[in-house]
Amino acid sequence: MFLYLSKLLPLLFYPLGLACISLIVALVMLGRRPRIAAFCITFSLVLLLVSSNGWVSKFFVRSLEWQNIPPAELPTAEAMVVLGGATKSAFPPRPGVDLSEQGDRVIYAAQLYRQQKAPLIILSGGRIDWRGGGTAESTDMAAILTSLGIPKQAIIEEPNSLNTYQNAVNVSKIIEAKGIKKVLLITSAMHMPRSLLIFKKQGMDVIPAPTDFLVSEGEIQELGNTPKAAILNLMPNTDNLHQFTITLKEYLGMLIYRLRGWL
């Protein structure tokens, strides 16, 4: 039940969902309470304009992504941990497992393995049944890695986690059983602040290795490079709205996890 509610309830706080609720209220109140209706319409418009412009979105994303910028040379560790959320199951018409937007996690793990940053790759992630089932994300990530030439004996699958807290708990059991002391944690830069806190809460010695950065220094500079760019970045854009929403999701996740004592 918690898993279902954790995915459903935050939708009421995201810009698009909140704007839709506000517009429904406006529609209901239009004839009886025109002032309330006007307020709801104005609120929805302002909310969407603010959350979908490049200036607000990019700096909001940066507030999370740039917290754990890795050094030029990552240190070595005894294992690396890759968190799920990076693959799409091999349902037709896909010819095989596809990488999602967060697929950089898997590619980065392969690159770090080639650089001999760690001899083991622990893949952590199950698959939520009500989202369509399919194989566990750990299995899908393993399929991608082996197709890239990573040996099977270097991969450990953890297929039971359904959220970041479970990732940390289940991985801590694996590394304790194997006597592993230090791990590289690979996940999206957006997801890293929450993940790092949860893994450290489990007593693990974790080195952040973020990837999948949505905002770079170049994109921040481009916001106001010219007057035209500055104006265009004020215009509503669905990509900006998406980035604002997933950043807000992470902040809400940190709040919920802290209330549950997981951070």
pLDDT at 134 (0 to 100): 72
Q: Which amino acid is at 45?
A: L
The two tokens of residue 117 are: 């940053």
- Find out whether 197 and 187 touch, Cβ atoms under 8 Å: no
pLDDT at 225 (0 to 100): 87
225 Cβ contact partners less than 8 Å away, ≥ 6 residues apart: none
pLDDT at 217 (0 to 100): 94
d(CA 119, CA 9): 40
Q: Tally Cβ neighbours within 10 Å of residue 161.
A: 21
Upstream peptide bond of 208 is cis (omega within 30 degrees of 0): no
Query: 35 burial class (0-12, 13-18, 19+ CB within 10 angstroms)?
Result: exposed
Radius of gyration of the chain (CA): 21
Task: Please tell me whether the overall predicted TM-score, pTM, comes out greater than 0.85 for this model.
Answer: yes
Secondary structure letter of residue 154 according to DSSP: G
Task: Average pLDDT across each block of 10 residues of the chain; the chain has 263 residues. List them in order.
Answer: 60 87 94 93 96 96 95 94 91 88 95 97 85 79 96 96 95 96 97 96 96 94 89 93 95 91 89
- Find out whether 6 and 194 touch, Cβ atoms under 8 Å: no
Query: Minimal CA–CA distance to 200: which of 253, 258, 157, 262?
Result: 262
d(CA 19, CA 41): 8
Output the CA angle 236-239-243, nearest 5 degrees: 105
- Find out whether 77 and 183 touch, Cβ atoms under 8 Å: yes
106 Cβ contact partners less than 8 Å away, ≥ 6 residues apart: 82, 86, 87, 99, 141, 144, 145
Structural domains in the chain, sorted by start? 66-208 (3.40.50.620)
> What distances in angstroms separate CA 179 from CA 114, 171, 172, 197, 237, one per listed residue?
23, 12, 10, 21, 48
pLDDT at 92 (0 to 100): 85
